[in-house]
Structures are given as C-alpha cells and as structure tokens.
Amino acid sequence: MKRKTIFFIIFISIIVNTVIIALSNSSNNFSNIFNNTSKYIFILFNIILIICFFRINNSPQLATVNLKNEKNEKRREENSSPKIGFSDVAGLEEVKEELGEIIDFLKNPEKYKAMGAKIPKGILLYGPPGTGKTLLAKAIAGETNSKFIHASGSEFVEKYVGVGAKRVRTLFEKARKESPSVIFIDEIDAIGAKRSLESNNEKDQTLNQLLIEMDGFNNDQTIIVIGATNRIDMLDEALLRPGRFDRNIYIGNPDINSRKEIFKVHLKNKPINPNINIEELAKKTHGMSGAHISNIANEAAILAVRKNKKIIDKEDFDEAIEKVIGGLERKNSHIIDKEKRRVSFHEAGHALMGKILNTDLITKISIIPRSQALGYVMYTPEEERFLITKEELFNKIKVMLAGRAAEEVIYGNISTGAKDDLKKANQLAFQMVCEYGMSNLENRFFEPTLIKTCYNIIDEEINKIINSCYKDSFEIIKSKKDILCKIAESLYEKESLTGEELENILKEHENSNNLLVKT
C-alpha cells in the first residue's frame, strides 16, 4: 500500500513539475513567482520520493512477501480447475460415500437450505502421508465444478507480524468471490497447532484469523474448507470444535482390495503383460500407501524402458517393489568374501526362523546390497490382519534377532550388521510394554508424560523381552545349524533366493519334516 501511494505522488509531482516548467518558460509573470530556488526545492522533493520508493521496493520484508504472494497466486490459478473426479480416486469407498452429501450440497445447496440443514463448514482429512488426502480434495472440487483454491500451511507462517493473518483474509476473500469453491489447506498443523506459552504473536494471529474466517461464512456462500494433516493430535481444540471442522475423516493405508483398485488406476494407461496378477502385486505391497503404489507402477515402467521392452513384466514389478522398499541396488559394491559369507548366514538366520515360527510368507532372500543394507529378507503376509497376539509379537522379535543369533552360532561372536534389527526389535518391545500391556507390568498403558518418570521400570521390562527372545532364537538356530549352513551356502552362491527355492532346500533336507518346534 505504501509503495502504491508513493508511486502515485511521484507521478502527480512529475506532471505538476512539467506543467510549471512549461508555464515558466512561456510567461515572465509566472517565472517571477516560481523562481529558481523553488524549482530546486521541488526537484529535491521528487528525488526524495523516488529514493523512498526504491527503498520500500527493495525492502527484504516486502520483497519476500510480494514474491511469495505472486508465486502462490500463480499456482492457485493453475490449479483452480482440477479435472479430477471420484473415478480417479481408487479405494476409499467408505470415505467417498461419506463425502457424497458434501458434493450434493455444493451441487444443490437450495435443497438443504429449504430444510434448514447446515452442511459442515470444514472437513479435516488426517492420516499417514501418501494416502490420497490431496487427491480426494481435488476430486470433491472436480465432482462439483467448484473453484479449487489450494494453499499450504507453511505459506501463512512468517516472522513479520500480521503477514500470515493477511494471507488468510486474502484466501477467503478469493473464495467468497468465486463461490462455489473448495479451500484446501495442506499441512494445516503448520498454522493450526495448539497454542501455548511458547507460541509467538504472528502464529497466534494467523490461527485466530483462520478461526474468524471459518465462523464468518454466510448461509448464501457455498464454500467448503478442507484441511489435511498427518498429526491431528497437534491441532488446536478451537479449530476442531463443531462449526469449524465438523467432520474428521481418517484416511489410512489401503487394504488389499483398495490396493488392487489403486494398481488398476495406475496401470490402465501402461502396456503390461496379460499374465500379471494384480492381486499378487496387492499382497506384496502390504502396508504401503497409494503414493507408494503409484511410484511402484512408474518405476516398473521406467525399468521396462531401460531394458528396451515393449511391455511391463512381472520381474519389472518385483524389482520396482524391492527398489521402493529397500532402496537403490548397489551392483558394484566391493564386499570382501568373509563379510559376504557372514551376511549370508545372517540373512539365512532370519529366513530359517521365519519358516520355523511360521510368521509371514517369505518371498525373497538377498545379499545384494541396497542403500545401507548389506542384505534383506522380504516377507508378505498370507492374509490381511488387524489384530496380533502376544505370542505372534514375541515371534516377530525372535525373527528380527535371529540374524545376530546365527552369526554367534557360526562365528562365536557378533557384528554391527544387526543395527537395524536391534532398532526394530526394541521399538516393538517398547510398544508391547507401553502401549499393548504385554509385559510383566500387565495391563498398563504409559502416556508419553509418564514414560520419563517410569523409564527405569520400562527399560527393565524391554530388556527382559529382548533377552528372552534372543535366548530362544539362539537355541533354535543352534539346534538347526546344519540346515542353516545349507541355506547360507546356497544364498552365498546365488546371491538371492526366492521363496520357492527356500522351500525346495528345506524339503531336500532329511530332517525337514521335524523343523517345526514348539515355542
């Protein structure tokens, strides 16, 4: 505003100055009135105004704010008309059904107003990253032909007091002008976090302005605010109360049926081998988000192009899944022979224990390094599970520790190769003690605030679980040392084994029928 005012004054001054000089040259009387001294003062005044203009124009504060606003406005204009509908959102059938009335309201607002019904002003989508929250918001706008106004929570966070609040006002003014509209605020926890004594004025003002704007909708305005976050527990209670974000919808990782539908969406424009089993792909991607599946489909296509193929085969998908899970393969890594053998025994220990305890289906064992891992075992659950028993969790920890146990059985010592295994085993043991009530402390749940107070008790219980599981793993691996060596030797020679090859090794062994042990 200051910049525009000074620019206007300079413009008027230049015009007045030009007129005065012209009159001075044409009229002696006027020249006597407006003498040379007055001219110099007037010119000096103009120079001062110009200097002020450039100082304000080059101000870091204004430059930052204006640059961000220009970029954000340009991006919002580009994304204002998404050509995406619910047909592009695979899975999430229950969520789409829940949002059906929101879409109907945006299409037929008069029907609801006639009944005196108030549609929710805000919808909060929360859940892990990559599950389709942004895509769902775009689909709502696309289904209703509404203006889609996208913003990120970080865009409103500034060190200059008042800037964030102004951006919130501008965002909602734009939505009101272009109603019906959908305002989507991604990562809303950046501005909607709980207020505390450590909060700053700028952050609080921005949040307050957002609350005021959401309260200020008229019944005649067809505007829906959609927020997205990975951390609903961090949001301020005032933001979540009825009348603001009325609907809180959890968007979790897809189940097997949803993963099949997501694969179908991402593969419909790709030339794939007709023999590809999408259900098998869905099983192999257990626990993955929609973003992971999209990435796998894209990586498989890239790998097929790299190999000069015309269609995408099963091996391309398998390699893509391994790449997404384990990272980039290090083909030229120079690992000395004795380390390669140790890694073979380590991974064979995991695989053997997994088969003995029948935890999950093993699809592949490899000692080809990927990212920071020197080897890995890939598991696929045989069925979708939502509940896990105490015994099954203990077995999972035993499988995690079986690699280190195998090293100790064969070499009589341990190495640093079990770093990631130990981390995961201790995390699971921590959950068993603090969250699941599966320790000697029995039915106890520890709030985060209590964990520091009871640290010694919790640590003691975790040690009991880890030490007990490691002892069992060591004894089982020791009793099956011969078959362990057979698996490790085969793995060392081939560098990778499929689940079928592992089964064949076990069947060939003379004592394979006695592998199962009671634990």
Question: Which tens digit of pLDDT belongs to each residue from 77-94?
Answer: 445 555 788 888 888 888
Say yes or no: 246 and 262 in one domain.
no
Share of the chain above pLDDT 70, in %: 78
pTM, 2 dp: 0.75
- Decide if 116 contacts 158 (C-beta within 8 A): no
Say yes or no: 201 and 287 in one domain.
no
Give the residue from 250, 276, 293 where a domain finishes.
Answer: 250
In a domain, 65, yes or no: no
The verdict on whether residue 131 carries a ligand-binding annotation is yes
More confidently predicted of 15 and 41: 15
Which structural domain, as residue segments, surrounds residue 29?
A: 2-58
In a domain, 495, yes or no: yes
Which residues neighbour 490 within 8 Å (Cβ) at sequence distance 6 or greater? 497, 501, 505
The CATH number that applies at residue 312 is 1.10.8.60
Q: How far apart are CA 156 and CA 165, in angstroms?
A: 7
Say yes or no: 271 and 361 in one domain.
no
Say yes or no: 233 and 89 in one domain.
yes
**Beta strand 245-250 with 223-229: parallel, antiparallel or unpaired?**
unpaired
Say yes or no: 234 and 302 in one domain.
no
- Structure-token match 């695989």, residue found: 351
Residue 470: pLDDT band by 50, 70, 90 thresholds?
Answer: very high
Q: How far apart are CA 153 and CA 192, in angstroms?
A: 8
3 state DSSP class of 442: coil
The verdict on whether residue 127 carries a ligand-binding annotation is yes
In a domain, 68, yes or no: no
In a domain, 70, yes or no: no
- Reported as type and span, the H/E element at residue 379 is strand 376-380
The CATH number that applies at residue 184 is 3.40.50.300
Beta-bridge mates of residue 181: 147, 223
- Tell me how crowded residue 28 is: count the other CB atoms within 10 A of its CB: 9
Say yes or no: 276 and 233 in one domain.
no
Quick: pLDDT tens for 118-153.
777 889 999 999 898 999 999 988 888 888 998 888
Give the residue from 224, 250, 276 where a domain finishes.
Answer: 250
In a domain, 99, yes or no: yes
**Average pLDDT rounded to a whole number, residues 40-62:** 57
pLDDT score of 26: 58
In a domain, 331, yes or no: no
- Burial code of 139-177, b = ≥16 C-beta within 10 A, e = fewer? bbbbbbebbbbbbbbebbbbeeeebbbbbbeebbebbee
Residue 70: pLDDT band by 50, 70, 90 thresholds?
Answer: very low
The verdict on whether residue 380 carries a ligand-binding annotation is no
More confidently predicted of 11 and 288: 288
The verdict on whether residue 421 carries a ligand-binding annotation is yes
Q: How many residues does the chain have?
A: 519
Say yes or no: 229 and 313 in one domain.
no
Which residues neighbour 135 within 8 Å (Cβ) at sequence distance 6 or greater? 84, 88, 89, 290
Share of the chain above pLDDT 90, in %: 36
- 248 phi and psi angles, rounded to 5 deg: -110, 110
Give the residue from 228, 250, 272 where a domain finishes.
Answer: 250
Say yes or no: 421 and 509 in one domain.
yes
More confidently predicted of 265 and 518: 265
3 state DSSP class of 454: coil
Q: How far apart are CA 480 and CA 281, in angstroms?
A: 33
Averaging pLDDT over each range in 96-110, 317-331, 406-420, which range is the top one? 406-420
Say yes or no: 187 and 282 in one domain.
no
Averaging pLDDT over each range in 360-369, 374-383, 466-475, which range is the top one? 466-475
Q: How far apart are CA 226 and CA 240, in angstroms?
A: 12
pLDDT score of 37: 54
The count of domains in the chain is 4
Say yes or no: 86 and 229 in one domain.
yes
**Above 70 in pLDDT, residue 412?**
yes
- Decide if 240 contacts 124 (C-beta within 8 A): yes
Indicate the DSSP class of residue 373. B
User: Using N-to-C axis directions, what is the helix angle for 337-357 and 481-494, rounded to 10°?
Assistant: 130
**Above 80 in pLDDT, residue 409?**
yes
Environment class of residue 379 by beta-carbon count within 10 Å: exposed (0-12), middle (13-18) or buried (19+)? buried
Say yes or no: 278 and 240 in one domain.
no
**Above 70 in pLDDT, residue 410?**
yes
Residue 62: pLDDT band by 50, 70, 90 thresholds?
Answer: very low
The verdict on whether residue 132 carries a ligand-binding annotation is yes
Residue 317: pLDDT band by 50, 70, 90 thresholds?
Answer: very high
Give the active site residues: 347
Say yes or no: 368 and 229 in one domain.
no
Quick: pLDDT tens for 225-269.
999 999 888 888 888 888 888 889 999 999 889 999 999 989 988
**Average pLDDT rounded to a whole number, residues 379-407:** 91
In a domain, 66, yes or no: no
Q: What count of Cα atoms within 13 Å lies in the side-chain half-sphere of residue 107? A: 12
**Average pLDDT rounded to a whole number, residues 32-57:** 58
**Average confidence score pLDDT of the chain:** 82
pLDDT score of 508: 84
The verdict on whether residue 350 carries a ligand-binding annotation is yes
The verdict on whether residue 363 carries a ligand-binding annotation is no
pLDDT score of 227: 92
Instruction: Tell me the Cα Rg of the chain.
Output: 33
The CATH number that applies at residue 508 is 1.20.58.760
- Alpha-helical (H) ranges within 256-289 are 256-267, 278-284
pLDDT score of 20: 60
Distances from the Cα of 369 to the Cαs of 9, 317, 408, 433, in angstroms? 69, 19, 22, 34
The verdict on whether residue 130 carries a ligand-binding annotation is yes
In a domain, 499, yes or no: yes
- Decide if 482 contacts 514 (C-beta within 8 A): no
